[in-house]
Amino acid sequence: MYGLHNGYHHFNSFDGVQSLPLLLKQNGIRTGIIGKKHVAPEYVYPFDYAETEENNSILQVGRNITKMKELTQYFLSSQDKTKPFFLYIGFHDPHRCGHTHPEYGVFCEKFGNGDKGMGRIPDWKPDYYDSTEVVVPSFVQDTVAARKDISAQYTTISRLDQGVGLVMNELRMAGFLNNTMIIFTSDNGIPFPNGRTNLYVPGRAEPFLLSVPSTPSTWDTVSNQYVSHLDITPTILNWYELPYPDYELFGRQVKLTGKSLLQKDITNTVFGSHSLHEVTMYYPMRSIHCDNITFIENLNYLMPFPIDQDFYLAPSFQDILNRTRSGIDTHWFKSLKDYYYRSKWEMYNLTSDPLEKQNLAWNANYLSTRTTLMNKLKQWQEATADPWRCSPSGVLEDAGLYKENPTCMPLYNDL
């Protein structure tokens, strides 16, 4: 679940959660975090070293790659080479910053480029892309506005890319590169229509790179294995040869549902969960992706799908709004109304329908597949004690808060 605790959102984990940085710290592993931090409270997520948006400007610690390089250098230079460490670096690129720092452009692509009033990031050599030549993803409308939006994003991705290179170089110079496991990923899909905040493929598809120094034969190889962010904690604990603790929350045994990627266990199934992106945009969804079939359950499907603040200001979304309001062709593969109002269930065969246009949830030929996926999804919700598992047609009643046979009691609301 998205962990935005900043400002009025104020999302916090339960006090008893045994988080990854807490477990590592308890086992003598030095921990650090640089850049983006959207989790709290601090005693649940303790870091020995922290330079984040909580004590710095997010522009500096999230987008100024020279500053982030220097902070990484400081952390590594003070690290005992005989002891293990864990360093989390949260780049804020290529997140949008339209409503927070509009002066730097919708994608902050102007920040640090040396233009008047933009400042300069010494280590960044901006890459610019001709909007008439960029490749437009199939799920984004091919219009002038959308092309400019995409080209601006690519510029910020170039800053991220160069920042990763700087961090890798610091690891090399500090002598840690050849004995450090490196994971690179993103926290959500691309911030374009049908992307971020959705459980469609563009909202779930993220880069995931894993480099393990002990197995150089796997470097530069591509795997088709299904991977989830649920796999990150088991993988890191496995790397340090640490077990997950035996403990309970609300009387229930806490178990990790992910897998260690170091064990090479192949799975054909991944799950997805979304409840809200900002506190003001509640739209709970659950999904299962299995053998190239995606099933999505929209729990509050009768309400319109909400739009988050910075995406609303994006040129690509404003383009769809303006074209819809004017009654002209949006050049998008779905209507704005279809985007807002969704079916209770959605199921897509990604082999024959990669754009997820044909909902097969009520197709008689897919009835058995739908039933199987729904059952697997319910089992996962039970295993994770999902408090939404009875919504929207029932209420979760439990004798003693999750302790004794929690039961879905019907509401008789025709849902």
Rounded Cα distance, 191 and 193, in Å: 7
pLDDT of residue 107: 79
Residue 154 CA to residue 157 CA, distance in Å, equals 5
Minimal CA–CA distance to 195: which of 162, 153, 148, 257? 153
Structure confidence at residue 103 (pLDDT): 83
Q: Is the CB of residue 45 less than 8 Å from the CB of residue 19?
A: yes
Q: What is the pLDDT of residue 399?
A: 60
Q: What is the residue type of 286?
A: R
The tens place of each residue's pLDDT in the chain, 415 residues long, gives: 345 777 777 888 999 999 999 999 999 999 999 999 988 999 999 999 999 999 999 899 999 999 999 999 999 999 999 999 999 999 999 888 877 788 888 779 999 999 999 999 999 999 999 999 999 999 999 999 999 999 999 999 999 999 999 999 999 999 999 999 999 999 888 999 999 999 999 999 999 999 999 878 878 888 888 899 999 999 999 999 999 999 999 888 999 999 999 987 778 899 999 998 888 889 999 999 999 999 999 999 999 999 988 889 999 999 999 999 999 999 999 999 999 999 999 999 999 999 999 999 999 999 999 999 999 999 999 999 899 999 999 999 876 554 567 788 999 999 8
Which residue, chain included where needed, has tokens 């209420």? Answer: 395
pLDDT of 2 = 45
Instruction: Print the SS3 string covering 175-229.
Output: CCHHHCCEEEECCCCCCCCCCCCCCCHHHHCCCEEEECCCCHHHCCCCCCCCCCH
Helix (H) and strand (E) counts in the chain: 10, 13
Omega within 30 of 0 (cis) for the link into 94? yes
Residues in the chain: 415
Q: Which residues pair with 32 in a beta bridge?
A: 49, 87
Predicted model pTM: 0.93
**Phi, psi torsion values for 295, nearest 5 degrees:** -120, 130
Torsion-angle region of residue 401: left (phi > 0), alpha (psi -120 to 50) or beta? left
- Gap between the Cα atoms of 399 and 415, Å rounded: 25
